[in-house]
Amino acid sequence: MRALRTAASGMSAQQLNVEVISNNIANMNTVGFKRQRAEFQDLLYQNVERMGGSSSAQGTVVPTGIQIGAGVKAGSVYRITEQGTPTQTGNRLDLAIDGKGYFQITMPSGETAYTRAGNFSVNGEGQVVTDDGYPVEPAISIPQDAIDVFISKAGEVQIIQAGQTEPTVVGQIEIATFFNEAGLEAIGDNLLLETAASGPATPGAPGEPGFGQLLQGYTEASNVDAVSEISALIIAQRAYEMNSKVISTADEMMSVSAQVKG
């Protein structure tokens, strides 16, 4: 009974679908989070009667044939990079990117990671870091006597020090873009890594052609839409139930066949 395996593949696919949707909903309030979507592909087909084959000695051909599908499989889980809504925080070191680009973060291993989460702070040495203490790249340090920090849309970091009226430039924030943002590998902690699918990072100053601008005192909200996710969850649940019903029906048919007496 081929329908058992086919329906089982459908249940497995919808289980994956629900897992992706649940992760989206769980990260509704995660700064800079990008929602994901699962895509599926049909499996190989069995050709019971091949289309285009000869059906008589007079040269007639089979117009459609008979192909029996074997079910479904997960094709990909892709990231939707649509920009989230900027949310005002009032924190002078919070940054949102209005447009394309990712902040560059130096990992403890020395590798560069990328993020859209700009909720930064300073560590004990005055260096601008992420929530986990990973420094922003290029490194930027805020002096202890700084009484205010200004970050321009172009990423120039200026400070006002005690006793001074003129600002002092202490660094330049750079962001990076990719040919295929969906190809970045998520590693948790709001961080992404470059892969062969994403293409190499192209760093540049905010506001340059092809790069977004910075918004000081803002963070980028998650782009998860609650209504869309709940609707997708209901559809996935119903699809799972229908595949389960196919298994029940196939089981009943096999039971009837087993009861037939010769």
DSSP string, 39-60: EEEE--EEEEE-TT-B-STT--
The pLDDT value given to residue 61: 80
CB atoms within 10 A of CB 220: 24
Q: How far apart are CA 108 and CA 160, in angstroms?
A: 31
| Strand-pair partners of 37 | 78
Q: How far apart are CA 102 and CA 182, in angstroms?
A: 13
The pLDDT value given to residue 54: 75
Ordered per-residue pLDDT tens for the chain, 262 residues: 788 999 999 999 999 999 999 999 999 999 999 999 999 999 888 887 777 777 677 777 878 778 888 899 999 999 999 999 999 998 999 999 999 999 999 999 999 999 999 999 999 999 999 999 999 999 999 998 889 999 999 999 999 988 888 899 999 999 999 999 999 999 999 999 999 999 999 999 999 999 999 999 999 999 999 999 999 999 999 999 999 999 999 888 888 888 875 5
And the tokens for 246? 């196919």
Establish whether the linkage from the previous residue to 63 is cis, with ω within 30° of 0.
Answer: no
Q: What's the one-letter identity of residue 214?
A: L
The pLDDT value given to residue 210: 93
Q: What's the one-letter identity of residue 29?
A: N
Q: How far apart are CA 222 and CA 232, in angstroms?
A: 17
Mark 184-215 as b/e (b = at least 16 C-beta within 10 Å): beeeeebbbebeeebeebebbbbbeeebbbbb
Task: Say if residues 103 and 93 touch (Cβ distance below 8 Å).
Answer: no
The pLDDT value given to residue 262: 54
* Long-range own/partner contacts, residues 165-170 (CB < 8 A, 24 or more apart): 170/140, 170/141, 170/142, 170/143
Q: How far apart are CA 257 and CA 247, in angstroms?
A: 15
